[in-house]
Structure 1
Amino acid sequence: MQDPDDVLAVAATRRWLERAVIGLNLCPFAKAVYVKEQVRYVVSPAHTAEALRAELERELQWLAAADPAKTDTTLLIHPHVLQDFLDYNDFLDEADRLLADLGLEGELQVASFHPRYQFAGTGEADIENCTNRSPYPMLHLLREASIDRAVAAFPETDAIYEANMQTLRALGREGWDRLMTKDEGAR
C-alpha cells in the first residue's frame, strides 16, 4: 500500500505537469512522454542528502537499464530533503559527479526543479523563476537520446526560453497562483 503523502506528492506533480509544463507549453517535449505514460514518478523517503544521493544512484541505474519505450524519463520527488534552494542547488553538483562516476554522462542528465527555484540575477518573487518551480523539490532524470530527438524536431531551443518568459510575464503572479491552486472541478 502506498503512503498517502507519496500519493499526494505524485498527484501535485502531475497537476503541475498538466497545468504548467504542458498547459503553458513551458516544455514542448513534455506532452508526448506524458500522454504515452512514459514518465516514472518516484517519491524518495530520504531525509538526508546522502540518502538522496543513494536513491538518485539507484534511479539513474534503473532508468539507464529501462526500455525507453516504456519509461523515457523519471521524476525523483524528494519532499523531505533539500527544502532550502541553496542546499538543493549545491546538491546538483553532486548529481553531476554521480553521473560521471556511473559512466552515464552522455546517456542521462539531471534537470532541476524546486518550489523556490531562483535563476541567477533574478529576485525571489520574479515570475520568470516559475519555469522551474515545482510543487516539491525534484530531480528530473532525462535520456540524452530523447533530448537529441526533441532538439532535432524543434531546433530553435533558445526560443523556448524566451517564449516561456513572455508567457509567464503575460500570466503574471496572480495568474500563476490561480493556475496552480484552481480546484480540480473547475477544469
Structure 2
Amino acid sequence: MDMQDSRSPLFGGALSAFIPHSATDVSELREIPDNQEVFVHAHTDQSLIVELLEYQGQVADQDAARYHFEDIAGSNKALAPGALAVSNVVSLPRSELSLTECSSAWILTGTQSVSKFNEEAQNTVTLHLGLFRLPQFSTDILITFNDPQRISPDSSSSASVLGSLSTQSWTVQNFHCMLKSLTLHNPGLFGENHG
C-alpha cells in the first residue's frame, strides 16, 4: 500500500476505503448524486467513482461487471462500433476483501472512447471496474477507475493533462488497494432510501 493513501469515509461513514493520494472529493466542487462518491486526481484526468446501484438479479455474477461496463458505455455515448472493448474479467477472492458481506466480487478491465461535456473530441479511457454484489441488500457496489490513455488535443482535458505528465498518476495497484480495503460500517446505508 502506498503510504500516502489514507482511509476515507464514504457515504457519511457508512463505508470506508483507502483513497489514493492527490484525490479531490468532487462533492466539494459540485453536486453529486446521493448514490455516488466521486474523486478526481488533482493533476491528471483520472477519476474514481463509487456507486451504489440496484442489484441486477437477472444478470449472472460472472456477467454482471460486463453489464455495468456496457451501462457506463451507454451513459458515455461510447456504444459506436469499436468504441468499447473488454480485455478481461476476473473474480476477486473474498478472502482478500474487507467487504466480506458481498456474495462475489469482480474486476473488469476495458477501454471506451468517450467525449467530455459532449465535445466532438474522443479520448481513449481504460476503465477498471470493481463490482461487489450484495443481493441481501439489493445492491451492487461499483467502483470505477477511469484512466485516460489518449487525450485528444481538441479535448478540454488536454491542457490540464499535458502540463502534468510528470505528476505521480494513480496506478492499478492503488485501485486494487481501494477495492480490497472497502469496508461496510453501517448496513443502514442500504435502507429504504436506497434505489
TM-score band, normalised by the shorter chain? 0.3 to 0.5
TM-score (norm 1): 0.35
Structure with greater helix percent: 1
Q: Larger relative contact order (C-alpha < 8 A, sep ≥ 6)?
A: 2
Larger strand fraction of residues: 2
TM-score by length of 2: 0.34
